Amino acid sequence: MKVEVIAGDDGYFQDLEGKGYRAPGPGKYRFGSFLSGTKQPYSVLWSQSHGVVWIDLNQNRNFADEEPLPDASKHFKVTFLPDARYIRTAIPGSPVAITMDAVYEKASAHTTEVLSLIAGNSFLGAEANGVAPASQLLPVVDGGALHNLIESFLLAAETPAVDVMTLSMSIRSFPNDGESFLALMLDRIVTTYGKPIFDGTDNNLCRVAPRGVTSVAQGTVASGRNVWRAMERSVK
């Protein structure tokens, strides 16, 4: 998002290679692209003055046919990438987070895991709420390795505006010597910063699911849940 472009009255502008694009309207934008988890490039347009981002999901070089996305940390809104499974990322240099789940077309499993635990407010139109209903979210992307995950929790815990934390990740196996180093570190983070970690028990909808090593930490709260089969059908 380092390139500044100016769209004309008709919304059209060109990138550095001379390719033409159409913005939702005339004005000044930041323009760039990012690679999804399957290395699919997507063009991105950011109006800093309006605080919204557009992603050219259908890749027709037209942002006018895309939905404007607000700042993810202020207005949690999910964007689905059409090419990948279980991808949740942030676009570098922009305030937007993206999530994708090819299995649940209407409600991403990992997204609902976060929503239901933390920011869920009248979840799916029902009376259930998360730990901090309608709260603002600070998405933190971890790099997959053990030290990245710990650093991500430290980054969140050290942020003054953060009160509670959760995580959404696939089952991973980390090196251990009989006790979990990750669980030990999570305990220390919770103790040091006084901010609880709510750990979702996976995302198997109406099936009871176990949780991984993160729930072993005494400072984390393993949150189980159950979804009725009728609701499972409604989100598929």
Interacting residues with Ca ion (CB under 5 A): 56, 58, 60, 62, 65-66
Q: What is the closest distance, in whole angstroms, from the C-beta atom of residue 50 to Ca ion in the complex? A: 18
Q: What is the closest distance, in whole angstroms, from the C-beta atom of residue 58 to Ca ion in the complex? A: 5
Q: What is the closest distance, in whole angstroms, from the C-beta atom of residue 151 to Ca ion in the complex? A: 35
Q: What is the closest distance, in whole angstroms, from the C-beta atom of residue 14 to Ca ion in the complex? A: 16
Task: Mark out the alpha helices in the chain (DSSP H runs).
Answer: 109-114, 146-157, 181-193, 229-235
- List, as one string, the DSSP characters of 128-149: ---SSTT---------SSHHHH
Select 10 or 158, whichever has its Cβ closest to Ca ion.
10
Select 44 or 131, whichever has its Cβ closest to Ca ion.
44
Select 94 or 214, whichever has its Cβ closest to Ca ion.
94
Check if the beta carbon of residue 64 is closer than 8 Å to that of residue 22. yes
How far, in Å, CA of 124 to CA of 113, rounded? 13
Select 56 or 101, whichever has its Cβ closest to Ca ion.
56
Select 66 or 101, whichever has its Cβ closest to Ca ion.
66
Check if the beta carbon of residue 13 is closer than 8 Å to that of residue 6. yes
Q: What is the closest distance, in whole angstroms, from the C-beta atom of residue 200 to Ca ion in the complex? A: 33
Select 4 or 65, whichever has its Cβ closest to Ca ion.
65
Integer angstrom CA distances of residue 111 from 3, 64, 87, 219: 30, 26, 10, 23
Q: What is the closest distance, in whole angstroms, from the C-beta atom of residue 193 to Ca ion in the complex? A: 42
The burial class, CB within 10 Å (0-12 / 13-18 / 19+), for 112 is: buried
Q: What angle do CA 41, 153, 130 make, to 5 degrees?
A: 90
What token pair was written down for 182?
A: 């990750």
- Amino acid of residue 177: D
